[in-house]
Amino acid sequence: MGRVLAGAFKLPWEQRKPLAHAVCIPLLSLIGVSLVSEFELITLPEAFEWLWMFIYVVPTAWLAVYIHRFLLRDLSDARTGVESGNAKRVVLYALLVLGFWALVMGVTIFGVLEMPASDTGDLIAHMVQTLVLLVVCLVVSALIGGRFCLALPAIAVGAGVRAAVRAARGNTLRLTMVFAWLPVALTVLIELLIGEDAGIFDLTLLVVLGAIVTIVEVAALSLSYRELTQPAPPPTDPPA
């Protein structure tokens, strides 16, 4: 796990020039969509604000697919276009990401609905109980996501999804760290660095750092996929 996390920061930095060349278009698209949302340049009716999730997930999936292909395949194959099936991969990737998001929301909402109403008048105890239930729901969602997250890089490189999911067996906790807790930790760190009284420059920096964090997160998932799916090295003869 330590090797994967270290590589997620080290590898994109070492390959920053070819990586930037390979992913520049989806990266700029993600930053553009994030800026439009952050500065409310386009406003949606309150009842349709959830559509931003669908708008945001497309450039995110586009970027992620290109990063996976850059790290797991030849560089020359990283920027191939629609003719090689990248559009289909982006769509499938986006749908799976939305599926994970729906899982988190569904488990959380179900947990809240199952929460008994407070009839004792002890508001603090009720709040603590609700918080604990929400944490449990999020942990369960994260574990499920960790169990199936290797399907994402498999879709990106056109590999077998079932084989990737089988490879994750026995590594759910490690993959949950990569797929769920690493993004949360990095997002919280950025939010703390920016602060609450953020101006235009700070918000722009927040968006750019968020895009960089996305690269790190996807790189960690790519390296996890490579580590768990690569064939074992052939046995070597003992020294004479």
| pLDDT of residue 128 exceeding 50 | yes
Q: What is the predicted pLDDT for the residue at 224?
A: 94
Q: What is the percentage of the chain residues whose pLDDT exceeds 90?
A: 31
- Cα(151)–Cα(168) distance, integer angstroms: 9
Let me know if residue 96 belongs to a domain.
Answer: yes
Let me know if residue 234 belongs to a domain.
Answer: no
Q: What is the predicted pLDDT for the residue at 231?
A: 64
Let me know if residue 111 belongs to a domain.
Answer: yes
Q: Predicted confidence band at 215 (pLDDT cuts at 50, 70, 90)?
A: very high
pLDDT digits (tens, 9 = 90+) for 32-62: 998 888 777 777 676 666 777 788 899 999 9
Whether residue 12 contacts residue 19, with contact meaning beta carbons closer than 8 Å, is answered with yes
Mean predicted confidence (pLDDT) in 62-70: 93
Residue 113's contacts (CB-CB under 8 Å, 6 or more residues apart) are: none
List, as one string, the DSSP characters of 23-66.
HHHHHHHHHHHHHHHHTTSS---GGGTTHHHHHHHHHHHHHHHH
List, as one string, the DSSP characters of 81-104.
-GGGTHHHHHHHHHHHHHHHHHHH
Let me know if residue 239 belongs to a domain.
Answer: no
Sign of torsion, CA 157 162 163 168? positive
Q: What is the predicted pLDDT for the residue at 81?
A: 46
Total domain count, the chain:
1
Mean predicted confidence (pLDDT) in 132-161: 89
Q: Which residue has the tokens 């995110």?
A: 60
- Cα(89)–Cα(193) distance, integer angstroms: 35
Q: Which residue has the tokens 């490690």?
A: 174
Q: What is the predicted pLDDT for the residue at 195?
A: 64
Let me know if residue 214 belongs to a domain.
Answer: yes
Let me know if residue 237 belongs to a domain.
Answer: no
Let me know if residue 69 belongs to a domain.
Answer: yes
User: Quick one: which of 98, 99, 110, 120 has its CA closest to 51?
Assistant: 98
User: Quick one: which of 171, 186, 172, 192 has its CA closest to 218?
Assistant: 186
Polymer length in residues for the chain: 240
Let me know if residue 220 belongs to a domain.
Answer: yes
pLDDT digits (tens, 9 = 90+) for 91-118: 999 999 999 888 888 877 776 666 665 5
Task: Tell me the residue range of the domain where 157 lies.
Answer: 2-228
